[in-house]
Amino acid sequence: MDTADGSIPNVYLIRRFMNISTSHGKVTSSPAFYQYTGSRRNWNSSDPARPGVCQACHAIPLEGYPADHAVKDNAAVCMKCHNHKNTFSHGSGGSGDGCEGCHGHSAGYEYDPGSTSLGRGTWKSHATHTQLDGGNAKGPGVACGACHDTNSFPFFKSGKDSNGDGKFNLAETDVCDICHSPGGAYDGVNDAAYGAKTNWKNSIYNTDNSLKPGMERWCASCHDEEPSVIQGVSAPNVVGDEDGSYVYGSGWGYYKTGHGLPASSYYPASGGVTAGAGVECAGCHDFSSRHIDGNARTFDDGGSSSTKPSAYRQGYRLSLVGGQEPMLVPWPQNVSNTADSYRLCAGCHSPGPYVNSSDTNTNLKTDGINRHAYHLSSNTLSFAADWNGGNTSRMTCVVCHNVHGSTRLAMVRDGKLTGREPGLMIWYNNDAIVYKNTARPDPPDPQNLPLSASTGTLWRGLTSANLCSHCHGNNNTTPEYRTPFQNVAQAPSLTWTGETGYAYDGVSPDNGSESAPFRFRVKYSHANNAAPVVIQVWVDRNDDGDYDEAGERIDLVAVAGQDNNHTDGRIFSATVLLAKAGDNSLRYRFHASDGINEAGGAPTADSSLWLLNEAPQLSWTGESGYLSAGVNPERGGSGTSFEFRVKYTDLDNEPPATIQVWVDQNDNGIYEPGEKHSMSSVSPGDNDYGDGKLYSKSLALTRTGDGNLNYRFHAGDGSTDAVGAPTQNMEVIVNTSANTPPTLDWEAGPCRSEGVKPVMGARNADFSFTIRYGDADNRCPSPGAIQVLIDENDNGTYESGEKYNLSEVDPGDTNCADGKLYDLTRPIAFSGDGLLMYRFQASDGSDAATGPATSDAFFTVVDTDYKVRPAGGSGWYGTIQAAINARNSAHTVLVYEGTYNENLTFDNINDHYTTVRSVCGPESTTIKGTTSPVYFMGNKSSLLDGFTITGGTYSGVFINGATPTINNCIIRNNSNNVSGGGGIYITNAASRMTLSNSEIHSNTAANGGGILFNSGSSHIVSNTVIRNNTVTGNGGGMFVQNVGSSSNFTGITVKDNSAGGNGGGMYFNAAAPIINRAEIRGNRAGGNGGGLSLTGSESQLSLTNGIVAGNYAGNTGGGGICSSARPIVLTNCTLADNIAGNTGQGGAIYNNSGSVTARNSIFWNNSAGASTLPGHEIFCNGLNLTVENSIFDSSARYFSRTNAALTTSFSNNITSDPLFVGDSPADYHLHSDSPAIDRASAAYAPPNDIDGQSRPHDQPGFNDGIDVYDMGADEYLP
């Protein structure tokens, strides 16, 4: 407001017409009278119709405003807010800086010398921010412009303009965030209870500086894991991490493991012994003291032990206790140990055990001495009171304990608050439970033993630089023994296991049929580590409402692969077959007791499972005449009796409510009521429907229509209709006449397949054709009416000269109704490609025979004259060697069934590329030798196929510089106690063996009971079983030496072999074959490496899709695999149930000085006998250990080492039970609930699993619709 000419007003009265618009109204051309001095104050125009500016807005009284806003004869009424030197600024978007006269402070606050605020608006919260006097000393003391936009009061300087008005209101501003911290566990800005914005008008505090009810977490909102930052200083995180994992579970800090834990909860480390203190911040801290001073450390002891304890109190804003200092910090020398030195602590904690050494009500005892009183009575300055610089104080409570909570037991400092991690590393101990290595600084296993199960502690004194290390220099894990002074007795508890399929109940599946077993699982925990005396699942099998009948209380057994620690829970399981009863909804519950107390928990209440009806199955009976149909004959005469037969199977063991054969007897295309015929049981006394029961019905059928009548079977158990091939339409043929055509069926026998023996033979050698003729009318074929047709010239037709009459095998058998044998033996010449077609035909004089034998089949004639039979004879050789020697170049020798007592030699001059093949296979053809029944000497690319090789005393097969292929052979009961290789011995670098589809068993040797590779390259072993071989030395199944990575072993099984030395299954010395799809199971070694042992500079193991299970090593270690300084690479392998016995280490793997890499693998239930560093899964003292995307426990009990320089990498591993299909017998396929499903890394997974099935496959409920690889050797298929 100015004068008419714009000069500064210096007169008493100036008339000026004004236009003004405010939120209260609009004034135009109004005179204004303004007087700076003088006693008379005229605020109104002499013209009542034209009032002055002030009075135009401010009526008397002013509606909606306080009484002191009424216009009076006092210039200060307006001037106190609208002082003209700063213009008429006010809210609603005004500008200026003259706010503090009214706002921002409490009434009477002198914000400038001589200027005091009126305390208007939200002055309570403003004062906390802007003043530093009295109860507001806790605030930051900022000016208005720190938060507000001074050009647009009362709006704020920054934020998110949600409503688009170009300003930031309280809801939109972010100026509160940095100081009040919306992040972390406690939102200090927006929380509905204690948020700064929520409480802006009414304030968090009462007038006495106490927190208002419901505001107790106000402090936590700044002191959480995303703390406030004021004046560049971050608030210390005393809340901790309430979601973070630590050794005792999830969530640590003030309200979880500190004094803020509610009294209704128990400290996790105590195991249910010690209840929470339930202390809020106000229990210790003075809210009226200065809280923000820009110093990160607000207590400084000045480097002196004589600093007054008030500095400590003020620095940490502690409350006085009874008007006296709460803590004597620093605690100088020569001041006696009384509760007055720690009044704040003694207010809740009985001071007895801290001041009186004879009071043993403390758990800090060693050697029977109360160490609490011992340390507090020490007169040595051993603690820097301000955690900085030299030692200025004796020991106090806060030296060792962080009252705000820590990740250690009993609030022992872990260094997180003071930046001195790991603090004091200390754990509860019980020698019967905890594994520890007192010669090293390794943590114990488990680390989470609670007080309730402890008999002492383990600690590493050197870990805490400001706690113990000045007196205790031992960094190794050291035990101290004592008995808890409290009553620690606890009751057991049962919980759901949390595994897939068991997250919310204790059974999987939740519903299923009687044929599918139900697996019950529950976790039993006991804080005192008491094992269950009784643990059962109760199932109301008969659905009568109780669990009192026999068989309804089923004992559970501990799941394999777990330790004996009950404090953190052990899983117990039972697999139960259930039958339907009542409404098929059966109740179950779990029950357990430690012998004194029964377990509580959700599993002890009733739950339910449902038994579903299993649809019955109909199938063909498999009897002669009913192999692929349900009627015999399939073609018969009009009026003839046709017998219909079918097998009914119900896995619920329910009899059929209905079982019928439907025959469209009038051939009209539908099954009418009279065409549905009930069937009768073939064995009325058989009441087992689970394994199948036969039903039959005989019907005399008359030809109607075209005589081709549809039939099908129908059955149901009263709930569900049967399924299966017999429920579909089939056809029976009714002839015009009354005759029933005969049938021809294959006749099985040694070396015979589909009526011919052998299926493969030499040219001009005899082939025998045999068939079974059946006729329901008992009409046997006349001579010449039953024949075999052989396409001998291989032209695709049966010419007249290729039809041969069959003869009766037993002329005395005149009953053709139950089947009669006919045969023919004749030599067959080679023709075409040697694959010749044949079939049988017959007639009963009226109709041609039917049946599978009337269709074409094939046999092979080999173009060779080198054929062998034991009896020899014209055109035959009597020994195999004679046939080999008969030609000095490549040729094929066919060997007929029998036992050949000879040794074979394939030499390096005449016998290259020679094939020796049995025509009837190894079950019927045996080479029984003496020294080496088969010897390949420098021979190239010969083939030995289809023999049993036995009797060798210098190996069953000896290969020296040769490259043979051995296929479909059984090599058994041979020995070689000189050079080794009881079954097969390979030597010479030029050797290369291909072994496939064979079985090598029951051989003995010094080394390499099944096979000994002493040299050579590019060896291939595939689809071969090596079992039950024995050596006194190394390599019970295989000894592989000087063989490089060009060799490949695929689809092999090495099981039940034994070695007196190392490598019960396999022994590698300077060898590195690639192994894929291998089972190494049940092998034993007196030394190391029950399954496999590696040594030698070139050795390495590359195993993919391998199962290494149930092996045993009796010496140093490696129940599954033992390696001496050699690398091991495992991909999608399963290592389970291996044992390193006696004092051995490395239940699954022992690796000394080498590296181990395991990906997508499963380690489960392996064990080692060593009391120190057992490494139940892996003992690795090498260079590198990598385990990724696997089921693997890396804790000290399961992974051990002695090499501190070992580099480890563990990622994406889980420790859950893999849930294999079967425990007894062991079946390492994955159960549908296995956590290994869909958890492997695609980066390393092979395309197929151990069964040769493709990977990956989606399992519903895991990654629906997404194919993800599984861990372990097996890929689960629904």
Distance, CA of 631 to chain centre: 52
- Could you tell me whether strands 1184-1188 and 1074-1081 are parallel, antiparallel, or unpaired per DSSP bridges? unpaired
- What average pLDDT score do residues 143-155 get? 83
Q: Cβ distance 494 to 592 under 8 Å? A: yes
Name the residue with tokens 């062991």: 1226
| Residue 299 neighbours by CB under 8 Å, 6+ apart | 311, 312, 314, 315, 316, 385, 386
Residue 85 pLDDT exceeds 70: no
- In the structure encoding, which two tokens stand for residue 172, read together? 């939109």
Q: Cβ distance 943 to 915 under 8 Å? A: yes
Nearest-angstrom CA–CA distance, 1112 and 1089 = 8
Nearest-angstrom CA–CA distance, 1034 and 987 = 17
Residue 911 pLDDT exceeds 70: yes
Supply the pLDDT for residue 880: 98
DSSP assigned state of 136: G
Q: Give strand pairing partners of 1151.
A: 1123, 1180
Residue 70 pLDDT exceeds 90: no
Supply the pLDDT for residue 1262: 56
Supply the pLDDT for residue 1067: 97
Q: Which CATH class is domain 743-862?
A: mainly beta
| Stretch among 421-425, 469-473, 925-929, 1142-1146 having the lowest mean pLDDT | 469-473
Residue 782 pLDDT exceeds 50: yes
Residue 835 pLDDT exceeds 90: yes
Supply the pLDDT for residue 7: 45
Residue 218 pLDDT exceeds 70: yes
Residue 648: Cβ within 10 Å count? 24
What are the C-alpha distances in Å from 412 to residues 406, 483, 912, 1272?
Answer: 7, 19, 80, 41
H helix count then E strand count, the chain: 11, 87
Q: Is the peptide bond before 933 cis (omega within 30 degrees of 0)?
A: no
Nearest-angstrom CA–CA distance, 917 and 908 = 19
Q: What is the pLDDT of residues 683-702, one digit of tens each?
A: 999 999 989 999 999 999 99
Supply the pLDDT for residue 25: 42
Of all residues in the chain, what percent carry a pLDDT higher than 70?
A: 91
Please report how many Cα atoms fall inside a 13 Å half-sphere around the Cα of residue 678, on the Cβ side. 5
Nearest-angstrom CA–CA distance, 961 and 958 = 10
Residue 1062 pLDDT exceeds 90: yes
392 closest CA partner among 317, 455, 309: 309
211 vs 469, higher pLDDT = 211
Supply the pLDDT for residue 1261: 57
Q: If pLDDT is split at 50, 70 and 90, which confidence band does 304 have?
A: very high
Q: What is the pLDDT of residues 573-619, one digit of tens each?
A: 999 999 899 999 999 999 999 999 999 999 999 999 999 998 999 99
Distance, CA of 1202 to chain centre: 28
Residue 57 dihedral angles phi and psi, to the nearest 5°:
-95, -40
Q: In degrees to the nearest 10, what's the CA dihedral of 115, 116, 119, 122? A: 50
Over the chain, what is the mean pLDDT? Answer: 88
**Backbone region of residue 466 per phi and psi (left: phi > 0; alpha: psi in -120 to 50; beta: other values):** alpha
Residue 454 dihedral angles phi and psi, to the nearest 5°:
-90, 155
Burial class (CB in 10 A: 0-12, 13-18, 19+), 502: buried
Q: What is the pLDDT of residues 460-480, one digit of tens each?
A: 988 876 677 767 878 899 999
Burial class (CB in 10 A: 0-12, 13-18, 19+), 622: exposed
Residue 83 pLDDT exceeds 60: no
- What average pLDDT score do residues 833-858 get? 95
Q: What is the pLDDT of residues 107-135, one digit of tens each?
A: 777 777 877 777 766 666 787 888 777 76
- In the structure encoding, which two tokens stand for residue 995, read together? 């072994």
What are the C-alpha distances in Å from 1219 to residues 459, 1004, 1107, 1226?
Answer: 36, 37, 15, 11
Residue 7: Cβ within 10 Å count? 9
- In the structure encoding, which two tokens stand for residue 796, read together? 């695709």
- The answer to whether the 493-611 and 743-862 domains have the same CATH topology is yes
What secondary structure does DSSP assign to 970-1005, as a single string? EEES-EESSS--SSEEEESTT---EEES-EEES-EE
Supply the pLDDT for residue 21: 42
| Stretch among 124-138, 616-630, 1093-1107 having the lowest mean pLDDT | 124-138
Q: What is the pLDDT of residues 1203-1212, one digit of tens each?
A: 777 899 999 9
Q: What is the pLDDT of residues 1005-1049, one digit of tens each?
A: 999 999 999 999 999 999 999 999 999 999 999 999 999 899 999
153 closest CA partner among 96, 82, 84: 96
Supply the pLDDT for residue 339: 92
Supply the pLDDT for residue 122: 64
**Percent of residues in the chain assigned helix, strand, coil, to nearest 5:** 10, 30, 60
Strands, DSSP E only, in 389-424?
none
Supply the pLDDT for residue 972: 98
Residue 759: Cβ within 10 Å count? 17
Q: Give strand pairing partners of 1081.
A: 1055, 1109
Supply the pLDDT for residue 123: 64
- In the structure encoding, which two tokens stand for residue 300, read together? 């400084």
| Three-state secondary structure call for residue 862 | strand
**Backbone region of residue 991 per phi and psi (left: phi > 0; alpha: psi in -120 to 50; beta: other values):** beta
Burial class (CB in 10 A: 0-12, 13-18, 19+), 342: buried
Q: What is the fold of 493-611?
A: Immunoglobulin-like (2.60.40)
Distance, CA of 950 to chain centre: 47
The amino acid at 1106: G
486 closest CA partner among 594, 593, 353, 600: 353
Q: If pLDDT is split at 50, 70 and 90, which confidence band does 146 have?
A: confident
Residue 824 pLDDT exceeds 60: yes
Residue 90 pLDDT exceeds 60: no
Q: If pLDDT is split at 50, 70 and 90, which confidence band does 1260 have?
A: low
- What average pLDDT score do residues 695-718 get? 97
- For the chain, the domains span 16-79, 493-611, 641-734, 743-862
Residue 1169 pLDDT exceeds 60: yes
Residue 603 dihedral angles phi and psi, to the nearest 5°:
-65, -15
Nearest-angstrom CA–CA distance, 457 and 1018 = 58
The CATH number of 641-734 is which of 2.60.40, 3.30.960, 2.30.30, 1.10.1060? 2.60.40
- In the structure encoding, which two tokens stand for residue 574, read together? 């039972």
Please report how many Cα atoms fall inside a 13 Å half-sphere around the Cα of residue 105, on the Cβ side. 24
- What average pLDDT score do residues 820-833 get? 97
1150 closest CA partner among 1189, 1105, 1201: 1201
What are the C-alpha distances in Å from 989 to residues 927, 979, 998?
Answer: 27, 16, 24
The amino acid at 460: R
815 vs 104, higher pLDDT = 815
Residue 800: Cβ within 10 Å count? 5
Sheet of strand 553-555, all strands in order from the earlier edge strand to the far edge = 511-512, 607-611, 585-593, 534-539, 553-555
Supply the pLDDT for residue 36: 34
| Three-state secondary structure call for residue 310 | helix
Helix (H) or strand (E) holding 314: helix 309-315
Q: If pLDDT is split at 50, 70 and 90, which confidence band does 500 have?
A: confident
Nearest-angstrom CA–CA distance, 135 and 211 = 12
- In the structure encoding, which two tokens stand for residue 210, read together? 């106490």
Q: What is the pLDDT of residues 954-980, one digit of tens each?
A: 999 999 999 999 999 999 999 999 989
Q: In degrees to the nearest 10, what's the CA dihedral of 209, 213, 215, 219? A: 50
Supply the pLDDT for residue 1264: 58
Supply the pLDDT for residue 1135: 97
